[in-house]
Amino acid sequence: MITRYCPHCHSVNRFPLLELQDQKFLRAGFFSNPLYPFTPHPKKGLTSKLSLFLYPLSLFINFTLNIIYMPFGLVYNYIQINQATKTFFETYSTKDPSVVYLDMLRKRANEGLPYSALLMGRAYLLGEGVPVDLEIAENYLKIAKDEFEADIIALVKALLQETSPDYTKVFRVVSLVSTNPLGAYYLSYLYYYGYGVSPSLKRAITYGTTAFNAKIKDYYCIFDKIGLKQ
């Protein structure tokens, strides 16, 4: 609760803006002190004249208390932040932010959080902060594929645009989103040329037809090669 006294209507207004934990933090912080708000609580019938006299007086008292209390609040906050930082890093053998970030991300991904799983899958797929491991990457991307299918498709596109694409990696990832029309197009391309998989004209036509019916742009001229005319 945040309490404010109105001298005109003689009422105390309470606003439930902060959780109890946040209230305690602010009371020990830079902008407040434990006695705030130091305002009168008039009884019924208090005159406006007296209210208007007491209100600026209360503001002056509160300002003075803030000036006195402020240095103690700063010291207290500094101690609290240092303790929180120490407690946080006690569970890690290193204070390298990238390592800590990946570890936290891994925990959330293992809990089944799709976005964290997407980021971890990308990290293991591209070797960003961790060794490249296609099996682990695939497992994480499976968790993310239902909610972040478009992001996985974008990842496949990026892999294909590399100077020397790892087609085995591309095939494993795009197979996770084979029901997506653009994913089907990429699979048709891979099956037709035998990139990362044994060539199969039948499967190339099957996936290519799905992409053709969805009016996917013919990036690699697959439609012409498998007999589909736009």
Among 56, 64, 16, 18, which Cα is nearest to 39's?
56
183 to 89, 125, 145, 168: CA distances (angstroms): 42, 17, 12, 15
Helix (H), strand (E) at residue 15: strand 11-15
- The first and second tokens of residue 71, run together, are 């240095």
- Confidence grade of residue 205 (pLDDT, cut at 50, 70, 90): very high
Each residue of 19-65: pLDDT tens digit? 555 545 444 443 444 444 444 444 455 566 666 666 677 777 777 87
pLDDT at 191 (0 to 100):
95
The terminus-to-terminus CA distance of the chain in angstroms comes to 65
Each residue of 81-93: pLDDT tens digit? 877 777 666 666 6
pLDDT at 12 (0 to 100):
45
3-class secondary structure, 6: strand
| Range from 58-67, 74-83, 190-199 carrying the lowest mean pLDDT | 58-67
- Confidence grade of residue 129 (pLDDT, cut at 50, 70, 90): confident
Q: Is the pLDDT of residue 202 over 60?
A: yes
3-class secondary structure, 47: coil
Query: Average pLDDT of the chain?
Result: 78
DSSP 44: T
Distance CA 32, CA 29 (A): 6
29 to 23, 34, 36, 50: CA distances (angstroms): 10, 9, 12, 32
Torsion of the alpha carbons at 95, 100, 103 and 108, rounded to the nearest 10: 140
- The first and second tokens of residue 97, run together, are 């932010």
- The first and second tokens of residue 197, run together, are 């998989």
- 8 Å CB contact between 170 and 191: no
- 8 Å CB contact between 151 and 120: no
Distance CA 71, CA 65 (A): 11
